[in-house]
Amino acid sequence: MTRSLSADQVLEILRSGVMEEKGLLPYSSNHSFLVTVGDGELMAPAVYKPQRGENPLWDFEWGTLCKRETAAYLVSSALGWDLVPPTVLRDGSRGLGSVQFFIDHDSEAHYFTVNEDARYVRAFRQLSLFDFLVNNADRKSGHCLVGADGRIWAIDHGICFHTEYKLRTVIWEFSCEPIEPGLRADLETLHTQVAARRSALRQELRSLLADGEVAAMVRRLEYLLHTGAHPAPIPQRRNYPWPPI
């Protein structure tokens, strides 16, 4: 995660550390705060999105966006792809909200500036599948960060996991291409973890999402495994987010 902290250490700090607000982040659709979380010795920067700062949406139940952010991290982690920074749901300075590790990144770099860089092709292939799986309605180019650690990180998953098809993304260049064997194996492992109704991961997801939303995710996962191909845009639908960056 960082040179000094492991992912497990970051998660523990995010869950139990003392939160101190540093300021409101600009240009966010919902209230997002830059915070530090820690115990005085171990500190981590994070983005705190309180439930009560969420703006109402017609198609997503109010107060659920922070839970969806957390569920996206669980799926990313279970796949072993670690696309989403460590994220927890907890009470903070403004009540219940998601708290996500802040990624130090190049503010000028995003999907459209690096998508042809061979170093990131695998990560974007993963992200193509991940966004279909979580039914991401808003994969903008700027939601793909190039971290100071040289990795691609994916953020902003508040409007995911709807039961109806909502996928809007800028990542379509892999459409209809076969899913690589290694990525397929990761999807199969995830299916083993979530298909069983009493599995630990499924229970965690059910604590964050409606039962129908979890079931719909499993069906999307099974669709990927059945077709063996990256998703393609559907004609006559809005397949791209706006603005795209």
User: What is the pLDDT at residue 29?
Assistant: 82
93 with 123, same domain: the answer is no
Assigned token pair, 62: 């109010």
- Which of 101, 135, 155 marks a domain boundary? 101
Q: Do 215 and 146 share a structural domain?
A: yes
Q: Is residue 134 part of a domain?
A: yes
123 and 220 inside one domain: yes
Q: Rounded to the nearest 5°, which phi and psi values hold at 13?
A: -65, -45
Question: What pLDDT sits at residue 41?
Answer: 82
56 lies in a domain?
Answer: yes
Kindly state whether residue 243 falls inside one of the protein's structural domains: no
Is there a domain that residue 39 lies in? yes
If one counts the domains in the chain, the total is 2
pLDDT band at 152 (very low <50, low <70, confident <90, very high): very high
Residues 72 and 116 occupy one common structural domain: no
Q: What angle do CA 151, 32, 58 make, to 5 degrees?
A: 105
Whether residue 221 sits in one domain with residue 116:
yes
**Tens of pLDDT along 182-241?**
999 999 999 999 988 889 999 999 999 999 999 999 999 999 999 999 999 999 899 999
Residues 47 and 155 reside in one and the same domain: no
pTM: 0.95
- Read off the pLDDT of residues 96-141 as tens digits, 9 standing for 90 and up: 999 999 999 999 999 999 999 999 999 999 999 999 999 999 999 9
Q: Which structural domain range is residue 47 located in? A: 7-101
- Tell me, what's the pLDDT at 17? 95
Indicate whether 75 and 147 sit together in one domain: no
Same domain? For 91 and 13 the reply is yes
Residue 159 lies in a domain: yes
User: For residue 34, is it within any domain?
Assistant: yes
Q: Are residues 84 and 119 located together in one domain of the fold? A: no
pLDDT at 39: 81
Give the domain-ending residue among 101, 128, 148: 101
Find the range with the poorest average confidence among 26-30, 48-52, 153-157.
Answer: 26-30
* Beta carbons of 154 and 84 less than 8 angstroms apart: yes
Which one, of 55, 64, 13, lies nearest residue 30 by Cα? 55
Please report the sign of the dihedral spanned by the C-alpha atoms of residue 181, residue 126, residue 159, residue 112. negative
CA distance 238 to 27: 23
Query: For 18-41, what is each residue's pLDDT tens digit?
Result: 999 999 998 888 899 999 999 878
pLDDT at 2: 47
- 25 in any annotated domain: yes
